[in-house]
Amino acid sequence: MEKPRIDQETCITCRACVGICPVEALKQFRREIVVDYDACTGCKICGKFCSAGAITFGSFDGAPVPEKKAIKTPSHLDKSFDIVIVGGGIAGLSTAIGALQSKQNLDILVIERKRVIGEDSNSSAGTWHFTLDMLPLTDSEKDEIILQKFTKLGLANEHDDVVIDNNGYYLGAIDLQRLLVILFRKVQKLGGQIEVNSFVESVERFDGGFEIGVVSKGEVYKISSKLIVDATGVDSTVSRRLGMHKSWGVEEIGVGAEYEMSWHGDSQTAWLIPLGYRNLGYAWVFPIGNNLARVGVAGPLQTLKKHKMNIQEELDKFLKYCAIVKENIGEDYSILAFKSGAYPVLEMSEDITRDQALRVGDSASQANPLLGEGIYYCINYGLKAGEALAKSNSGSEEDLEPYKAFVLKNKEKFETDKLGFGMDTDKVIENLQKNLDKLSERERQVLLEFLMPVEQDWKTRIRLSKKLLGTKETLKLFGSEIKKRL
């Protein structure tokens, strides 16, 4: 079996391979990417995503890979499940909740490869104030999950900044791992089963359902199910096995990296900072209380690849780029954690249901393509997917249609609301307008830069600018741009 070798001289540590590896066999150790040959299954997907051409494949000559031992399916899994959900992230657990809330006594199994639900989440976990309301959570559970409520939006460029008061809680930083653990318990309470430390390596259609090959602690066994859900995130394991998805193209993936670090600024202001200067996407600062914040940058893999950029180095540069960030992290800042990962930047997939199989969350590219924000969509679409599955008799296209229709209905809105204010763009603009008179010229400039970080998205910028500043100002601002493109 051929496995990856990494040429450390060529590697630029963009970490796309780390984010994309379905078995987490690639890890960063200091500034190098290392391969865990025991975990590697030789799927070669990392090679495709290497932004520097540093990965080659050869026959494996390290320690012998332990043979996987085929065993009889453990008795608690030895039945035909109504629904198997592959992936115990936010999309998978929301789907399980949606199904179990709609129909009792469903035989549902969630299979997760991690040892612990929520372990090593790479998300910054900033999400809208209404996101958690979609889930069956008590107020005290929400209090446990929300780390910080934001009432202000800060926008900045290198020297200037502007803070817009939203007059209320609009966005929050949450503890995603805590949320996943709470959902895990709810799924169990509602009668669902969850198997952790279990990796789905194969999926085959079999006798009106699916035969799913699971590897757990070196043993392999089969599980059968009538319906299957791909909630494996960017890995899209199930969709690839079933031919619903070919695997991502380099232009369809973004890479983000963030530090959890010291922050002395106001904790109620979330910062969003365009990285137009590097032609990357956005940087963000989400304070999480206790003088800490999640500070991150993200951009298209294609850009990183083209300019041989290292995402962690971009993050380090960003800390020194922006006056407001430099000021608030202080001279002798400390970094508590580093995370990074890949996210889909493609428009939402329309091929989300096929003969008893369904895709949800990042696996179906249900994330905001500009900001990579996906938690809201994972929950919203996951709940709907679960409901459609629970009500389905056969998992036919017709049965799963309500889920598909719901997602596609939102698709158009989602695509015009690329700035990530989801359903609330109008409200945010309304708030900005109230503050506009009070802004100086320089602050307005910051606002406008915020609207134009992504070159190809000029239509959205013009639309938002017209709403925000009116036609006259927009013409002044974009006149030459419009002429150029006519």
Interacting residues toward ligand FAD by CB under 6 A: 22, 86-92, 111-114, 122-127, 199-200, 231-233, 235, 237, 256, 258, 296, 340-341, 343, 361-363, 367, 372-376, 378
Beta carbons of 335 and 317 less than 8 angstroms apart: no
CA distance 189 to 228: 21
Provide, rounded to whole angstroms, the least separation between the CB of residue 67 and ligand FAD. 20
State residue 478 phi and psi, 5-degree precision.
-105, 0
Question: Environment class of residue 46 by beta-carbon count within 10 Å: exposed (0-12), middle (13-18) or buried (19+)?
Answer: buried
Output 183-187 pairs: Cβ under 8 A, ≥24 positions apart: 183/90, 183/93, 183/94, 183/96, 183/97, 183/135, 184/88, 184/93, 184/117, 184/118, 186/97, 186/136, 187/93, 187/96, 187/97, 187/100, 187/108, 187/110
Give min distance, CB of 367 to ligand FAD, in A: 4
Nearer to ligand FAD, 287 or 478 (CB): 287
Of 311 and 448, nearer to ligand FAD (C-beta) is 311
Closest contact distance (angstroms) between CB of 229 and ligand FAD is: 11
**CA separation, residue 19 to residues 120, 279, 332, 341, 377 (Å):** 11, 21, 30, 4, 20
Query: Least CB distance from residue 88 to ligand FAD, whole Å?
Result: 5
Rounded to whole angstroms, how far apart are CA atoms 103 and 227?
A: 15
Select 63 or 336, whichever has its Cβ closest to ligand FAD: 336
Three-state DSSP state, 425: helix
The DSSP result for 218-247, as a single string, is TEEEEEEEEEEEE--GGG-HHHHHTTS---
Query: Using CA atoms, how far apart are residues 436 and 438, in angstroms rounded to an integer?
Result: 5
Least gap, CB of 480 to ligand FAD (angstroms): 34
Residue 270 or 452: the one with the smaller Cβ distance to ligand FAD is 270
Nearer to ligand FAD, 362 or 387 (CB): 362
* Shortest Cβ 263–ligand FAD spacing (Å): 16
Q: Minimum distance from CB of 432 to ligand FAD (Å)?
A: 21
CA 31 to mean position of chain CA atoms: 24
Report the residue number, 62 or 289, with the smaller CB distance to ligand FAD: 289
What is the residue-wise DSSP string for 271-332?
A: EEEE-GGGT--EEEEEEEETTEEEEEEEEEHHHHHHTT--HHHHHHHHHHH-HHHHHHH-TT
What gap in Å lies between CA 427 and CA 439, rounded to an integer? Answer: 19
CA 483 to chain centre: 37
Nearest to ligand FAD by Cβ — which residue?
Answer: 374
Nearer to ligand FAD, 367 or 407 (CB): 367
CB of 341 vs ligand FAD, minimal distance in Å: 3
The torsion region of residue 151 among left (phi > 0), alpha (psi -120 to 50) and beta comes to alpha
Smallest distance from ligand FAD to CB 114, Å:
5
Task: Please state the closest distance from residue 371 (CB atom) to ligand FAD, in A.
Answer: 8
The nearer residue to ligand FAD, 240 or 443, going by C-beta atoms, is: 240
Closest CB to ligand FAD among 123 and 392? 123
Tokens of 454: 């992504």
Identity of the amino acid at 43: C
Shortest CB 297 distance to ligand FAD, Å? 9
Collapse the DSSP code of 178 into the 3-class scheme (helix H, G, I; strand E, B; otherwise coil) and give the result: helix
Q: Which is nearer to ligand FAD, 239 or 328 (CB)?
A: 239
Q: Is the dihedral of CA 302, 303, 309, 313 positive or negative?
A: negative
**Integer angstrom CA distances of residue 100 from 112, 137, 389, 397:** 18, 15, 10, 21
Least Å distance, CB 485 to ligand FAD, is: 32
| C-alpha–C-alpha distance, residues 434 and 431, integer Å | 5
Based on CB atoms, which residue is closest to ligand FAD, 177 or 435?
177
Minimum CB–partner distance for residue 105 and ligand FAD (Å) = 25
Closest CB to ligand FAD among residues 380, 460: 380
**Which residue spans within 105-189 are E strands per DSSP?**
108-111, 126-128, 146-150, 152-156, 161-165, 171-174
Looking at beta carbons only, is 232 or 303 nearer to ligand FAD? Answer: 232
